[in-house]
C-alpha cells in the first residue's frame, strides 16, 4: 500500500514530520500539495516499487529532465540576490525562470520528504539539497514575488526545522 496517508508512512517519517501539511495533497505550499510535488511522489513510489536502483540525490533532476523533458535548476546559494532575480526573469523553453526554479524546488522537496515517507531515511546529499531549496524558495518569496505571508514562511521554516532535527537525530 502507498499513498499520502499517515498509515502508509514509515515510522521515522511520522516521528519527525508531524505537521498535518505533510499529508496534504491540495496545499500548494506543502511538499506533496502542488501538482509537481504530487507527481514527483508518484514517480518516486513507482521507481521504488519496481525496485529500481535510485540515486535519490539525482532523482529530482531525473524526474524533471528525463521524465518530464523540462529544465531543472539546482539551488545555488552562492548566487547573489541580483543574479537570482535575473535567473527568475530568464525564459527556459518559453517558461519563466521563476516557475522553473519553483518547480525544481518543489520536486526536490517532494523527493526528499517522499524518501523519508517511504524508506524512513533521507540521503545526506538530498537533504542538503532540500535545505538549499528552502532557502532559495524563501529568497524567491521575498525578492521576486514580494510575498512575506506568514503562511509561506511557516511552511518553509517548519520544513527546515524538521529536516535539521531529522538530520541531527537520525542521520549518521
Q: What is the mean pLDDT of the chain?
A: 91
Average pLDDT over residues 41-62: 92
pLDDT at residue 168 above 70?
yes
CA dist 128 and 137 (Å) reads: 14
Note whether 104 and 133 are within 8 A (CB): yes
For the entire predicted model, the pTM comes to 0.93
The pLDDT-based confidence of 165 (bands split at 50, 70, 90) is: very high
Residue with cell 545526506: 124
Distances (CA, A) of 98 to 84, 87, 122, 144: 9, 7, 27, 8
Query: How many C-alpha atoms does 157 have within 13 Å on its Cβ side?
Result: 7
What are the structural domain ranges in the chain?
Answer: 6-169
CA dist 106 and 113 (Å) reads: 11
Beta-bridge partner residues of 92: 95
Q: What single DSSP character describes residue 70?
A: -
pLDDT at 172: 52
Note whether 135 and 77 are within 8 A (CB): yes
Amino acid at each position: 500500500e502507498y499513498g499520502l496517508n499517515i498509515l502508509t508512512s514509515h515510522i521515522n517519517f511520522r516521528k519527525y514530520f508531524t505537521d498535518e501539511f505533510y499529508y496534504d495533497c491540495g496545499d500548494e505550499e506543502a511538499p506533496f500539495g502542488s501538482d509537481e510535488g504530487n507527481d514527483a511522489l508518484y514517480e518516486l513510489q513507482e521507481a521504488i516499487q519496481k525496485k529500481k536502483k535510485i540515486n535519490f540525490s539525482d532523482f529530482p533532476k531525473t524526474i524533471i529532465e528525463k521524465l518530464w523533458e523540462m529544465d531543472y535548476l539546482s539551488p545555488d546559494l552562492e548566487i547573489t540576490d541580483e543574479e537570482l532575480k535575473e535567473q527568475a526573469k530568464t525564459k527556459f523553453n518559453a517558461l519563466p525562470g521563476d516557475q522553473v526554479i519553483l518547480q525544481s524546488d518543489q520536486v526536490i522537496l517532494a523527493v526528499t520528504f517522499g524518501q523519508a515517507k517511504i524508506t524512513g531515511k533521507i540521503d545526506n546529499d538530498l537533504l542538503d539539497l532540500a535545505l538549499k531549496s528552502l532557502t532559495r524558495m524563501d529568497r524567491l518569496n521575498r525578492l521576486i514575488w514580494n510575498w512575506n505571508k506568514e503562511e509561506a514562511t511557516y511552511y518553509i521554516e517548519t520544513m527546515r526545522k524538521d529536516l535539521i532535527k531529522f538530520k541531527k537525530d537520525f542521520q549518521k
